[in-house]
């Protein structure tokens, strides 16, 4: 019998396969409502990386690799490794970025190797029919993966429980920023930043393994 997390990964992968099939390689194809907000999320995550640094990056739930494009536009010199549970996403990413020699992609829920930084943008939002308790456990175990696969720090975003009630949807998960801040502080590092001031119905948590 499939475990809860196998079931979650199977359901989520099928959801994103269908989005990509419907909308193609585009923000809508990874279920974002536009490029501007997709880039705004990346901007928050990249507060972790000092300007001018040469780094390696794991992108967990990379979609078609839009973060790689953003890093290049910001002149961040990096080795980028994207992984995604959706084989269709990885096929699209490989087609887009196959000519870059500093980029690798893999199918699966865990990065292949440890990198300086690990990021996850948008992977905790769509919980489909899974319960609050199942999804909270799934977030915590995925944060363990981000922690294990990063040397210097990791960052991720979530929809916020401070969203306007009339805009909230049952198939989405709205995390408590204070709950996840507390989890990160207690479990991963004393150096945690909570960004909840960038105008979307979500927040970003940045975990540094040592002070900035």
Ligand X SMILES: C[S@@+](CC[C@H](N)C(=O)[O-])C[C@H]1O[C@@H](n2cnc3c(N)ncnc32)[C@H](O)[C@@H]1O
Q: Shortest approach of ligand X to residue 15 CB, angstroms?
A: 8
Cβ contacts of residue 146 below 8 Å, gap of 6+?
Answer: 60, 118, 120, 154, 156, 207
Residue placing its CB nearer to ligand X in the complex, 35 or 132? 35
- The C-alpha atoms of residue 16 and residue 18 are separated, in whole angstroms, by 5
Residue placing its CB nearer to ligand X in the complex, 22 or 190? 22
Residue placing its CB nearer to ligand X in the complex, 19 or 208? 19
Residue placing its CB nearer to ligand X in the complex, 68 or 188? 68
Q: Shortest approach of ligand X to residue 164 CB, angstroms?
A: 21
Residues of this chain that bind ligand X (CB under 6 A): 9, 12-13, 16, 30-31, 38, 60-63, 66, 83-86, 89, 109, 121-123, 142
* Selection from 139, 84, 92 nearest residue 112 by Cα: 84
Q: Shortest approach of ligand X to residue 67 CB, angstroms?
A: 6
Cβ contacts of residue 27 below 8 Å, gap of 6+?
Answer: 33, 34, 35, 37, 38, 66
Residue 7: which H helix or E strand, with range?
helix 4-23
- The C-alpha atoms of residue 184 and residue 23 are separated, in whole angstroms, by 35
Q: Shortest approach of ligand X to residue 104 CB, angstroms?
A: 15
């Amino acid at each position: 019998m499939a475990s809860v997390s196998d079931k979650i990964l199977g359901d989520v992968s099928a959801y994103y396969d269908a989005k990509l099939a419907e909308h193609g390689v585009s923000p809508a194809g990874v279920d974002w409502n536009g490029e501007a907000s997709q880039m705004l999320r990346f901007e928050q995550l990249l507060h972790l990386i000092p300007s001018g640094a040469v780094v390696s990056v794991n992108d967990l739930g990379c979609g078609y690799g839009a973060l790689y494009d953003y890093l290049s536009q910001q002149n961040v010199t990096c080795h980028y490794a994207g992984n995604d549970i959706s084989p269709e996403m990885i096929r699209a990413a490989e087609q887009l970025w196959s000519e870059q020699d500093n980029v690798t992609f893999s199918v699966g829920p865990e990065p292949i190797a440890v990198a300086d930084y690990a990021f996850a943008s948008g992977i905790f939002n769509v919980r489909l029919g899974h319960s609050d308790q199942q999804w909270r456990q799934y977030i915590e175990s995925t944060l363990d993966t981000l922690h294990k696969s990063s040397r210097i720090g990791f960052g991720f975003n979530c929809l916020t429980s401070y969203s306007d009630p009339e805009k909230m949807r049952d198939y989405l998960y709205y995390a408590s920023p204070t709950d996840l801040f507390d989890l990160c502080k207690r479990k991963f590092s004393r150096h945690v930043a909570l960004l909840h001031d960038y105008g979307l119905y979500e927040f970003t948590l940045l975990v540094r393994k040592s002070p900035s």
